[in-house]
Structure 1
Protein backbone atom coordinates (compact mmCIF):
# COMPACT_ATOMS: atom_id res chain seq x y z
CA UNK A 1 0.00 0.00 0.00
CA UNK A 2 1.36 3.42 -0.96
CA UNK A 3 2.05 5.78 1.89
CA UNK A 4 0.00 8.97 1.70
CA UNK A 5 2.19 12.05 2.02
CA UNK A 6 1.61 14.15 5.10
CA UNK A 7 0.59 17.79 4.61
CA UNK A 8 3.62 19.88 5.51
CA UNK A 9 3.06 23.61 6.22
CA UNK A 10 4.39 26.09 3.67
CA UNK A 11 7.79 27.72 4.03
CA UNK A 12 6.36 31.02 5.25
CA UNK A 13 4.34 29.33 7.98
CA UNK A 14 7.58 28.30 9.71
CA UNK A 15 9.01 31.82 10.01
CA UNK A 16 7.36 33.11 13.17
CA UNK A 17 7.40 29.72 14.99
CA UNK A 18 11.16 29.59 14.31
CA UNK A 19 11.67 32.99 15.97
CA UNK A 20 9.44 32.04 18.91
CA UNK A 21 11.24 28.70 19.26
CA UNK A 22 14.61 30.43 19.58
CA UNK A 23 13.17 32.82 22.16
CA UNK A 24 11.72 30.01 24.27
CA UNK A 25 14.97 28.03 24.00
CA UNK A 26 17.02 30.89 25.40
CA UNK A 27 18.25 32.38 22.13
CA UNK A 28 20.16 29.38 20.75
CA UNK A 29 19.50 25.73 20.02
CA UNK A 30 20.84 22.72 18.22
CA UNK A 31 18.98 21.42 15.19
CA UNK A 32 16.95 18.76 16.98
CA UNK A 33 15.97 21.08 19.84
CA UNK A 34 14.76 23.64 17.32
CA UNK A 35 12.71 21.14 15.32
CA UNK A 36 11.17 19.66 18.47
CA UNK A 37 10.16 23.09 19.75
CA UNK A 38 8.71 24.10 16.35
CA UNK A 39 6.72 20.85 16.26
CA UNK A 40 5.39 21.63 19.73
CA UNK A 41 4.48 25.23 18.88
CA UNK A 42 2.78 24.29 15.59
CA UNK A 43 1.22 21.06 16.83
CA UNK A 44 2.83 19.04 14.03
CA UNK A 45 2.17 15.31 13.96
CA UNK A 46 4.78 12.57 13.79
CA UNK A 47 3.77 11.90 10.17
CA UNK A 48 4.49 15.50 9.23
CA UNK A 49 7.81 15.57 11.09
CA UNK A 50 9.07 12.37 9.47
CA UNK A 51 7.97 13.17 5.91
CA UNK A 52 11.20 13.05 3.90
CA UNK A 53 12.30 15.73 1.48
CA UNK A 54 12.25 13.88 -1.85
CA UNK A 55 14.01 10.62 -0.95
CA UNK A 56 15.83 12.03 2.09
CA UNK A 57 17.99 12.12 4.04
CA UNK A 58 16.51 15.30 5.56
CA UNK A 59 12.87 15.61 6.53
CA UNK A 60 10.73 18.09 4.61
CA UNK A 61 10.21 20.12 7.79
CA UNK A 62 13.96 20.29 8.46
CA UNK A 63 14.57 21.33 4.84
CA UNK A 64 12.02 24.14 5.00
CA UNK A 65 13.17 25.34 8.42
CA UNK A 66 16.75 25.47 7.10
CA UNK A 67 15.64 27.83 4.33
CA UNK A 68 13.71 29.95 6.83
CA UNK A 69 16.83 30.22 9.00
CA UNK A 70 18.74 31.47 5.95
CA UNK A 71 16.10 34.15 5.25
CA UNK A 72 16.16 35.22 8.90
CA UNK A 73 19.94 35.39 8.84
CA UNK A 74 19.89 37.70 5.81
CA UNK A 75 17.46 39.95 7.70
CA UNK A 76 19.76 40.12 10.73
CA UNK A 77 17.30 38.22 12.94
CA UNK A 78 19.52 35.15 13.28
CA UNK A 79 23.25 34.67 13.01
CA UNK A 80 25.29 31.59 12.27
CA UNK A 81 28.71 32.12 13.93
CA UNK A 82 29.93 28.64 13.06
CA UNK A 83 28.66 25.48 11.42
CA UNK A 84 25.68 24.01 13.25
CA UNK A 85 25.31 26.96 15.61
CA UNK A 86 22.41 29.41 15.21
CA UNK A 87 21.78 32.31 17.57
CA UNK A 88 18.99 34.85 17.90
CA UNK A 89 20.35 38.41 17.52
CA UNK A 90 19.32 41.56 19.38
CA UNK A 91 17.10 42.40 16.41
CA UNK A 92 15.59 38.91 16.63
CA UNK A 93 14.76 39.34 20.29
CA UNK A 94 12.69 42.44 19.55
CA UNK A 95 11.32 41.67 16.06
CA UNK A 96 7.54 41.56 15.63
CA UNK A 97 5.59 38.84 13.84
CA UNK A 98 4.91 41.16 10.89
CA UNK A 99 8.56 42.15 10.60
CA UNK A 100 9.75 38.55 10.79
CA UNK A 101 7.27 37.21 8.25
CA UNK A 102 8.21 39.93 5.77
CA UNK A 103 11.54 38.13 5.15
CA UNK A 104 9.71 35.58 3.00
CA UNK A 105 10.47 35.83 -0.75
CA UNK A 106 8.05 38.00 -2.73
CA UNK A 107 7.23 40.08 0.36
CA UNK A 108 8.33 43.66 0.86
CA UNK A 109 10.72 43.87 3.79
CA UNK A 110 9.35 45.63 6.87
CA UNK A 111 12.00 47.73 8.60
CA UNK A 112 13.10 46.00 11.78
CA UNK A 113 14.39 47.73 14.88
CA UNK A 114 17.94 48.82 14.27
CA UNK A 115 17.40 49.33 10.53
CA UNK A 116 15.88 52.35 8.86
CA UNK A 117 13.30 52.25 6.08
CA UNK A 118 15.85 52.90 3.31
CA UNK A 119 17.91 49.91 4.42
CA UNK A 120 14.83 47.71 4.54
CA UNK A 121 13.76 48.86 1.08
CA UNK A 122 17.19 47.98 -0.30
CA UNK A 123 16.95 44.53 1.24
CA UNK A 124 13.68 43.46 -0.35
CA UNK A 125 14.05 39.75 -0.99
CA UNK A 126 14.20 38.84 -4.69
CA UNK A 127 11.36 36.83 -6.25
CA UNK A 128 11.09 33.26 -5.05
CA UNK A 129 12.89 30.72 -7.20
CA UNK A 130 13.03 26.99 -6.72
CA UNK A 131 16.19 26.52 -4.64
CA UNK A 132 18.99 24.22 -5.68
CA UNK A 133 18.50 21.05 -3.69
CA UNK A 134 21.49 21.02 -1.37
CA UNK A 135 20.55 17.53 -0.22
CA UNK A 136 21.04 16.04 -3.71
CA UNK A 137 24.59 14.85 -3.03
CA UNK A 138 23.49 13.45 0.33
CA UNK A 139 20.76 11.40 -1.32
CA UNK A 140 23.30 10.15 -3.86
CA UNK A 141 25.66 9.06 -1.05
CA UNK A 142 22.91 7.18 0.80
CA UNK A 143 21.62 5.51 -2.36
CA UNK A 144 25.16 4.36 -3.10
CA UNK A 145 25.53 2.92 0.40
CA UNK A 146 22.16 1.18 0.23
CA UNK A 147 23.20 -0.55 -3.02
CA UNK A 148 26.57 -1.81 -1.71
CA UNK A 149 26.97 -5.55 -1.31
CA UNK A 150 26.98 -6.77 2.32
CA UNK A 151 30.73 -7.41 2.49
CA UNK A 152 31.54 -3.93 1.16
CA UNK A 153 29.09 -2.36 3.59
CA UNK A 154 30.81 -4.17 6.48
CA UNK A 155 34.19 -2.82 5.34
CA UNK A 156 32.73 0.69 5.12
CA UNK A 157 31.26 0.39 8.63
CA UNK A 158 34.62 -0.68 10.06
CA UNK A 159 36.50 2.07 8.22
CA UNK A 160 34.01 4.67 9.44
CA UNK A 161 34.34 3.59 13.07
CA UNK A 162 38.15 3.59 12.85
CA UNK A 163 38.11 7.09 11.33
CA UNK A 164 35.84 8.23 14.17
CA UNK A 165 38.48 7.17 16.69
CA UNK A 166 37.36 3.65 17.59
CA UNK A 167 39.95 0.93 18.10
CA UNK A 168 39.80 -2.87 18.23
CA UNK A 169 36.81 -2.75 15.87
CA UNK A 170 35.19 -6.11 15.14
CA UNK A 171 32.36 -6.47 12.63
CA UNK A 172 30.12 -9.44 13.35
CA UNK A 173 29.22 -10.03 9.70
CA UNK A 174 25.97 -11.27 8.22
CA UNK A 175 25.18 -13.46 11.22
CA UNK A 176 24.70 -10.51 13.53
CA UNK A 177 24.86 -10.94 17.28
CA UNK A 178 21.51 -10.23 18.83
CA UNK A 179 21.22 -7.02 16.80
CA UNK A 180 24.85 -5.99 17.32
CA UNK A 181 26.73 -5.44 14.05
CA UNK A 182 30.06 -4.20 15.40
CA UNK A 183 32.00 -3.78 18.61
CA UNK A 184 34.78 -1.29 19.26
CA UNK A 185 36.66 0.58 21.96
CA UNK A 186 36.74 4.33 22.50
CA UNK A 187 39.53 5.92 24.55
CA UNK A 188 38.99 9.27 26.29
CA UNK A 189 42.00 11.48 27.13
CA UNK A 190 44.32 8.49 26.71
CA UNK A 191 43.08 7.18 30.08
CA UNK A 192 39.48 5.97 30.09
CA UNK A 193 38.31 3.28 27.69
CA UNK A 194 34.76 2.26 26.84
CA UNK A 195 33.47 -0.72 24.95
CA UNK A 196 30.81 0.37 22.47
CA UNK A 197 28.36 -1.85 20.61
CA UNK A 198 27.12 -0.62 17.25
CA UNK A 199 24.17 -1.37 15.01
CA UNK A 200 24.35 -0.26 11.35
CA UNK A 201 21.13 -0.46 9.40
CA UNK A 202 20.54 0.41 5.77
CA UNK A 203 16.95 1.57 6.16
CA UNK A 204 15.10 3.56 3.53
CA UNK A 205 12.47 4.73 5.96
CA UNK A 206 12.39 5.65 9.63
CA UNK A 207 13.76 3.80 12.64
CA UNK A 208 11.14 3.51 15.38
CA UNK A 209 11.19 3.17 19.16
CA UNK A 210 10.82 -0.62 18.87
CA UNK A 211 14.11 -0.88 17.00
CA UNK A 212 15.86 1.02 19.79
CA UNK A 213 14.29 -1.16 22.50
CA UNK A 214 15.41 -4.33 20.71
CA UNK A 215 18.94 -2.96 20.37
CA UNK A 216 19.06 -2.00 24.04
CA UNK A 217 18.02 -5.52 24.94
CA UNK A 218 20.92 -6.90 22.89
CA UNK A 219 23.47 -4.62 24.58
CA UNK A 220 22.45 -5.47 28.14
CA UNK A 221 25.20 -7.24 30.07
CA UNK A 222 27.83 -6.25 27.48
CA UNK A 223 28.29 -2.50 27.95
CA UNK A 224 26.44 0.72 28.75
CA UNK A 225 27.65 2.46 25.57
CA UNK A 226 25.87 1.99 22.26
CA UNK A 227 25.64 3.63 18.84
CA UNK A 228 22.89 3.17 16.27
CA UNK A 229 23.73 4.22 12.69
CA UNK A 230 21.10 4.27 9.95
CA UNK A 231 20.84 5.49 6.39
CA UNK A 232 17.26 6.47 7.20
CA UNK A 233 15.93 8.73 9.94
CA UNK A 234 14.64 8.37 13.50
CA UNK A 235 11.09 8.95 14.64
CA UNK A 236 10.42 11.23 17.58
CA UNK A 237 9.58 8.11 19.57
CA UNK A 238 12.95 6.56 18.71
CA UNK A 239 14.80 9.69 19.83
CA UNK A 240 12.88 9.70 23.10
CA UNK A 241 13.59 6.00 23.61
CA UNK A 242 17.32 6.52 22.99
CA UNK A 243 17.52 9.04 25.83
CA UNK A 244 14.90 7.57 28.18
CA UNK A 245 15.66 7.95 31.89
CA UNK A 246 16.70 4.88 33.87
CA UNK A 247 18.28 2.95 30.99
CA UNK A 248 21.60 3.23 29.09
CA UNK A 249 21.52 5.99 26.49
CA UNK A 250 21.97 5.11 22.83
CA UNK A 251 23.75 7.60 20.58
CA UNK A 252 22.14 8.07 17.17
CA UNK A 253 23.53 8.83 13.72
CA UNK A 254 20.84 9.39 11.08
CA UNK A 255 21.37 9.24 7.33
CA UNK A 256 21.70 13.01 7.20
CA UNK A 257 24.28 12.95 10.00
CA UNK A 258 26.13 10.10 8.29
CA UNK A 259 26.55 11.99 5.03
CA UNK A 260 27.94 14.98 6.93
CA UNK A 261 30.44 12.76 8.75
CA UNK A 262 31.55 11.09 5.52
CA UNK A 263 32.04 14.53 3.97
CA UNK A 264 34.12 15.75 6.91
CA UNK A 265 36.25 12.60 6.89
CA UNK A 266 36.55 12.72 3.07
CA UNK A 267 35.32 9.14 2.83
CA UNK A 268 33.74 8.74 -0.59
CA UNK A 269 32.75 12.41 -0.74
CA UNK A 270 34.87 15.00 -2.53
CA UNK A 271 34.41 18.74 -2.21
CA UNK A 272 35.60 20.78 -5.19
CA UNK A 273 36.14 24.52 -5.04
CA UNK A 274 35.35 26.47 -8.20
CA UNK A 275 38.19 28.76 -9.21
CA UNK A 276 37.20 32.40 -9.51
CA UNK A 277 39.41 34.65 -11.61
CA UNK A 278 39.20 38.46 -11.46
CA UNK A 279 41.31 41.33 -12.76
CA UNK A 280 43.08 43.59 -10.24
CA UNK A 281 42.80 46.87 -12.13
CA UNK A 282 44.80 48.78 -9.53
CA UNK A 283 47.84 46.72 -10.51
CA UNK A 284 47.68 47.89 -14.10
CA UNK A 285 46.96 51.49 -13.07
CA UNK A 286 50.07 51.59 -10.90
CA UNK A 287 52.45 50.16 -13.53
Structure 2
Protein backbone atom coordinates (compact mmCIF):
# COMPACT_ATOMS: atom_id res chain seq x y z
CA UNK A 1 0.00 0.00 0.00
CA UNK A 2 1.21 3.50 -0.77
CA UNK A 3 2.58 5.90 1.83
CA UNK A 4 -0.49 7.17 3.69
CA UNK A 5 0.88 10.71 3.55
CA UNK A 6 -0.95 10.96 0.24
CA UNK A 7 -4.03 11.77 2.36
CA UNK A 8 -2.55 15.24 2.91
CA UNK A 9 -3.06 15.93 -0.80
CA UNK A 10 -6.69 14.80 -1.12
CA UNK A 11 -8.15 18.23 -0.45
CA UNK A 12 -5.44 20.05 -2.45
CA UNK A 13 -6.25 17.88 -5.51
CA UNK A 14 -9.93 18.82 -5.25
CA UNK A 15 -9.11 22.49 -4.73
CA UNK A 16 -6.54 22.59 -7.55
CA UNK A 17 -8.82 20.87 -10.07
CA UNK A 18 -11.64 23.24 -9.15
CA UNK A 19 -9.39 26.30 -9.42
CA UNK A 20 -8.19 25.18 -12.85
CA UNK A 21 -11.72 25.19 -14.24
CA UNK A 22 -12.97 21.79 -13.10
CA UNK A 23 -10.48 19.83 -15.20
CA UNK A 24 -6.70 19.76 -15.51
CA UNK A 25 -3.76 17.72 -16.65
CA UNK A 26 -1.63 16.11 -13.92
CA UNK A 27 1.30 18.50 -14.39
CA UNK A 28 -1.05 21.46 -13.96
CA UNK A 29 -2.36 19.99 -10.70
CA UNK A 30 1.16 19.34 -9.41
CA UNK A 31 2.21 22.89 -10.24
CA UNK A 32 -0.88 24.44 -8.68
CA UNK A 33 -0.57 22.44 -5.45
CA UNK A 34 3.15 23.19 -5.14
CA UNK A 35 2.48 26.91 -5.54
CA UNK A 36 -0.58 27.07 -3.30
CA UNK A 37 1.10 25.15 -0.47
CA UNK A 38 4.44 26.92 -1.01
CA UNK A 39 6.21 23.57 -0.99
CA UNK A 40 10.00 23.87 -0.68
CA UNK A 41 12.35 22.48 -3.30
CA UNK A 42 13.39 19.82 -0.80
CA UNK A 43 9.89 18.31 -0.99
CA UNK A 44 9.48 18.79 -4.73
CA UNK A 45 12.86 17.26 -5.54
CA UNK A 46 12.58 14.25 -3.25
CA UNK A 47 12.57 10.99 -5.20
CA UNK A 48 11.21 7.55 -4.48
CA UNK A 49 13.61 4.66 -4.07
CA UNK A 50 12.45 3.31 -7.39
CA UNK A 51 12.89 6.72 -9.02
CA UNK A 52 10.45 9.49 -9.84
CA UNK A 53 9.06 12.34 -7.78
CA UNK A 54 7.70 11.32 -4.39
CA UNK A 55 5.52 14.44 -4.32
CA UNK A 56 3.91 13.67 -7.68
CA UNK A 57 3.46 10.03 -6.67
CA UNK A 58 1.60 11.02 -3.49
CA UNK A 59 -0.62 13.43 -5.43
CA UNK A 60 -1.33 10.65 -7.94
CA UNK A 61 -2.34 8.33 -5.10
CA UNK A 62 -4.66 11.05 -3.77
CA UNK A 63 -6.23 11.33 -7.22
CA UNK A 64 -6.56 7.53 -7.37
CA UNK A 65 -8.55 7.41 -4.13
CA UNK A 66 -10.69 10.35 -5.22
CA UNK A 67 -11.40 8.60 -8.52
CA UNK A 68 -12.46 5.40 -6.77
CA UNK A 69 -14.71 7.48 -4.51
CA UNK A 70 -16.39 9.04 -7.55
CA UNK A 71 -15.08 12.54 -6.90
CA UNK A 72 -12.49 12.74 -9.70
CA UNK A 73 -12.81 11.28 -13.18
CA UNK A 74 -9.66 10.49 -15.16
CA UNK A 75 -10.18 10.36 -18.90
CA UNK A 76 -8.06 8.09 -21.06
CA UNK A 77 -6.34 11.18 -22.43
CA UNK A 78 -4.83 12.06 -19.06
CA UNK A 79 -7.16 14.82 -17.91
CA UNK A 80 -8.42 14.86 -14.34
CA UNK A 81 -11.90 16.33 -13.96
CA UNK A 82 -14.35 16.80 -11.13
CA UNK A 83 -17.49 14.69 -11.33
CA UNK A 84 -20.92 16.03 -10.38
CA UNK A 85 -20.23 14.72 -6.90
CA UNK A 86 -16.82 16.37 -6.84
CA UNK A 87 -18.13 19.76 -7.91
CA UNK A 88 -20.37 19.81 -4.84
CA UNK A 89 -17.41 19.32 -2.49
CA UNK A 90 -15.43 22.28 -1.22
CA UNK A 91 -13.36 20.46 1.36
CA UNK A 92 -13.42 17.12 3.15
CA UNK A 93 -12.87 17.03 6.90
CA UNK A 94 -10.45 14.58 8.51
CA UNK A 95 -13.17 12.08 9.36
CA UNK A 96 -14.49 12.09 5.79
CA UNK A 97 -10.98 11.57 4.40
CA UNK A 98 -10.34 8.60 6.68
CA UNK A 99 -13.70 7.07 5.77
CA UNK A 100 -12.96 7.55 2.06
CA UNK A 101 -9.61 5.81 2.44
CA UNK A 102 -11.13 2.89 4.36
CA UNK A 103 -13.84 2.37 1.76
CA UNK A 104 -11.39 2.36 -1.14
CA UNK A 105 -8.93 0.09 0.66
CA UNK A 106 -11.77 -2.33 1.33
CA UNK A 107 -12.02 -2.83 -2.41
CA UNK A 108 -8.50 -4.35 -2.33
CA UNK A 109 -7.30 -2.64 -5.49
CA UNK A 110 -3.56 -3.26 -5.73
CA UNK A 111 -2.52 -1.01 -8.58
CA UNK A 112 -2.67 2.64 -9.49
CA UNK A 113 -4.20 2.99 -12.92
CA UNK A 114 -6.01 5.76 -14.75
CA UNK A 115 -9.70 5.00 -15.09
CA UNK A 116 -10.84 4.19 -18.60
CA UNK A 117 -14.08 5.69 -19.95
CA UNK A 118 -16.30 3.71 -22.23
CA UNK A 119 -15.45 4.06 -25.90
CA UNK A 120 -17.77 6.33 -27.82
CA UNK A 121 -17.66 4.88 -31.29
CA UNK A 122 -20.87 3.18 -32.36
CA UNK A 123 -20.00 -0.20 -33.85
CA UNK A 124 -22.34 -2.09 -36.14
CA UNK A 125 -21.49 -5.69 -37.04
CA UNK A 126 -22.87 -7.68 -39.93
CA UNK A 127 -21.74 -11.03 -41.19
CA UNK A 128 -21.50 -11.84 -44.91
CA UNK A 129 -20.84 -14.90 -46.98
CA UNK A 130 -17.19 -15.37 -48.08
CA UNK A 131 -16.51 -13.28 -51.15
CA UNK A 132 -19.71 -11.30 -50.73
CA UNK A 133 -19.38 -7.55 -50.58
CA UNK A 134 -20.95 -5.92 -47.56
CA UNK A 135 -23.36 -3.21 -48.66
CA UNK A 136 -23.26 0.16 -46.99
CA UNK A 137 -26.34 0.63 -44.88
CA UNK A 138 -27.50 3.92 -43.43
CA UNK A 139 -27.48 4.02 -39.65
CA UNK A 140 -30.85 3.97 -37.90
CA UNK A 141 -32.48 7.37 -37.20
CA UNK A 142 -31.44 7.42 -33.54
CA UNK A 143 -27.78 7.16 -34.56
CA UNK A 144 -28.17 10.05 -37.01
CA UNK A 145 -29.92 12.21 -34.42
CA UNK A 146 -27.32 12.10 -31.68
CA UNK A 147 -25.09 14.67 -33.40
CA UNK A 148 -27.98 17.10 -33.57
CA UNK A 149 -28.81 16.43 -29.94
CA UNK A 150 -25.17 16.97 -28.96
CA UNK A 151 -25.11 20.25 -30.86
CA UNK A 152 -28.31 21.36 -29.08
CA UNK A 153 -26.75 20.57 -25.70
CA UNK A 154 -23.67 22.61 -26.52
CA UNK A 155 -25.77 25.49 -27.85
CA UNK A 156 -27.74 25.56 -24.60
CA UNK A 157 -24.60 26.10 -22.51
CA UNK A 158 -24.03 29.57 -21.06
CA UNK A 159 -21.13 31.53 -22.63
CA UNK A 160 -18.76 30.83 -19.75
CA UNK A 161 -19.74 27.16 -19.84
CA UNK A 162 -18.84 26.96 -23.53
CA UNK A 163 -15.49 28.61 -22.77
CA UNK A 164 -14.78 25.97 -20.12
CA UNK A 165 -15.87 23.25 -22.55
CA UNK A 166 -13.35 24.58 -25.09
CA UNK A 167 -10.75 24.61 -22.32
CA UNK A 168 -11.46 20.93 -21.64
CA UNK A 169 -11.38 20.11 -25.35
CA UNK A 170 -7.96 21.72 -25.75
CA UNK A 171 -6.65 19.83 -22.72
CA UNK A 172 -7.92 16.56 -24.13
CA UNK A 173 -6.15 17.45 -27.39
CA UNK A 174 -2.78 17.77 -25.67
CA UNK A 175 -2.61 21.43 -24.61
CA UNK A 176 -1.19 22.28 -21.21
CA UNK A 177 -1.65 25.24 -18.88
CA UNK A 178 -4.95 26.06 -20.56
CA UNK A 179 -6.44 29.14 -18.92
CA UNK A 180 -9.77 30.80 -19.61
CA UNK A 181 -9.48 34.57 -19.42
CA UNK A 182 -12.87 35.67 -20.71
CA UNK A 183 -12.00 39.34 -20.26
CA UNK A 184 -14.09 41.89 -22.14
CA UNK A 185 -12.21 44.40 -24.25
CA UNK A 186 -9.42 41.90 -24.95
CA UNK A 187 -10.06 41.53 -28.66
CA UNK A 188 -12.28 38.52 -28.16
CA UNK A 189 -9.53 36.40 -26.62
CA UNK A 190 -11.11 33.82 -24.32
CA UNK A 191 -8.10 31.83 -23.24
CA UNK A 192 -4.55 30.69 -23.70
CA UNK A 193 -2.73 27.35 -23.77
CA UNK A 194 0.61 25.76 -24.58
CA UNK A 195 1.10 22.78 -26.89
CA UNK A 196 4.32 20.83 -26.28
CA UNK A 197 5.34 19.31 -29.61
CA UNK A 198 8.41 17.55 -28.23
CA UNK A 199 10.92 18.17 -25.38
CA UNK A 200 12.51 20.98 -27.41
CA UNK A 201 9.60 22.65 -29.15
CA UNK A 202 6.38 24.15 -27.84
CA UNK A 203 4.16 26.99 -28.89
CA UNK A 204 1.67 29.29 -27.24
CA UNK A 205 -1.84 29.59 -28.65
CA UNK A 206 -4.68 31.98 -27.92
CA UNK A 207 -8.23 30.82 -28.49
CA UNK A 208 -11.63 32.37 -29.02
CA UNK A 209 -14.90 30.51 -28.50
CA UNK A 210 -18.02 31.60 -30.37
CA UNK A 211 -21.21 29.99 -29.10
CA UNK A 212 -23.60 30.80 -31.90
CA UNK A 213 -24.84 29.03 -35.00
CA UNK A 214 -24.12 31.80 -37.52
CA UNK A 215 -21.09 32.21 -39.76
CA UNK A 216 -17.84 33.76 -38.59
CA UNK A 217 -16.68 36.40 -41.07
CA UNK A 218 -13.24 37.46 -42.28
CA UNK A 219 -13.29 40.77 -40.29
CA UNK A 220 -13.79 38.72 -37.11
CA UNK A 221 -10.80 36.57 -37.97
CA UNK A 222 -8.71 39.69 -38.67
CA UNK A 223 -9.78 41.31 -35.40
CA UNK A 224 -8.80 38.19 -33.47
CA UNK A 225 -5.42 38.05 -35.21
CA UNK A 226 -4.83 41.71 -34.38
CA UNK A 227 -5.51 41.01 -30.71
CA UNK A 228 -3.09 38.07 -30.62
CA UNK A 229 -0.21 39.69 -32.54
CA UNK A 230 2.96 39.61 -30.47
CA UNK A 231 1.29 37.55 -27.75
CA UNK A 232 1.20 34.03 -29.17
CA UNK A 233 2.46 31.84 -32.00
CA UNK A 234 -0.95 30.67 -33.17
CA UNK A 235 -4.63 31.43 -32.77
CA UNK A 236 -7.65 29.10 -32.62
CA UNK A 237 -11.27 30.07 -33.21
CA UNK A 238 -13.85 27.50 -32.10
CA UNK A 239 -17.47 27.97 -33.13
CA UNK A 240 -20.65 25.95 -33.14
CA UNK A 241 -21.50 27.52 -36.49
CA UNK A 242 -19.47 27.86 -39.69
CA UNK A 243 -16.84 30.07 -41.30
CA UNK A 244 -17.36 32.05 -44.47
CA UNK A 245 -15.10 31.36 -47.45
CA UNK A 246 -13.41 34.73 -46.91
CA UNK A 247 -12.84 33.86 -43.25
CA UNK A 248 -11.13 30.62 -44.28
CA UNK A 249 -8.90 32.48 -46.75
CA UNK A 250 -8.08 35.10 -44.14
CA UNK A 251 -7.08 32.43 -41.65
CA UNK A 252 -4.28 31.15 -43.92
CA UNK A 253 -3.26 34.44 -45.55
CA UNK A 254 0.48 34.70 -46.27
CA UNK A 255 2.67 36.90 -44.12
CA UNK A 256 0.60 36.77 -40.94
CA UNK A 257 0.26 34.26 -38.05
CA UNK A 258 -2.08 31.41 -39.03
CA UNK A 259 -5.45 30.96 -37.36
CA UNK A 260 -6.86 27.46 -36.89
CA UNK A 261 -10.61 27.31 -37.54
CA UNK A 262 -12.82 24.75 -35.79
CA UNK A 263 -16.43 24.81 -36.99
CA UNK A 264 -19.44 22.95 -35.59
CA UNK A 265 -18.94 19.87 -37.74
CA UNK A 266 -15.29 19.59 -36.77
CA UNK A 267 -16.21 20.21 -33.15
CA UNK A 268 -18.57 17.24 -33.13
CA UNK A 269 -15.93 15.09 -34.85
CA UNK A 270 -13.47 15.97 -32.10
CA UNK A 271 -15.93 14.91 -29.40
CA UNK A 272 -16.22 11.57 -31.18
CA UNK A 273 -12.48 11.12 -31.74
CA UNK A 274 -11.60 12.13 -28.18
CA UNK A 275 -14.46 10.06 -26.78
CA UNK A 276 -15.58 13.05 -24.75
CA UNK A 277 -19.11 13.41 -23.41
CA UNK A 278 -20.36 10.38 -25.33
CA UNK A 279 -21.12 6.83 -24.23
CA UNK A 280 -20.79 3.74 -26.38
CA UNK A 281 -23.68 1.76 -27.76
CA UNK A 282 -22.88 -1.41 -29.68
CA UNK A 283 -25.62 -2.80 -31.90
CA UNK A 284 -25.89 -5.95 -34.01
CA UNK A 285 -27.80 -6.87 -37.16
CA UNK A 286 -29.30 -10.34 -37.38
CA UNK A 287 -27.86 -12.59 -40.09
CA UNK A 288 -30.80 -14.77 -41.21
CA UNK A 289 -28.55 -16.81 -43.53
CA UNK A 290 -26.76 -18.27 -40.52
CA UNK A 291 -30.00 -19.61 -39.00
CA UNK A 292 -31.28 -21.01 -42.30
CA UNK A 293 -28.80 -23.88 -41.97
CA UNK A 294 -30.65 -25.07 -38.88
CA UNK A 295 -34.14 -25.18 -40.39
Q: TM-score, normalised by structure 2?
A: 0.48
**TM-score normalized by structure 1?**
0.49
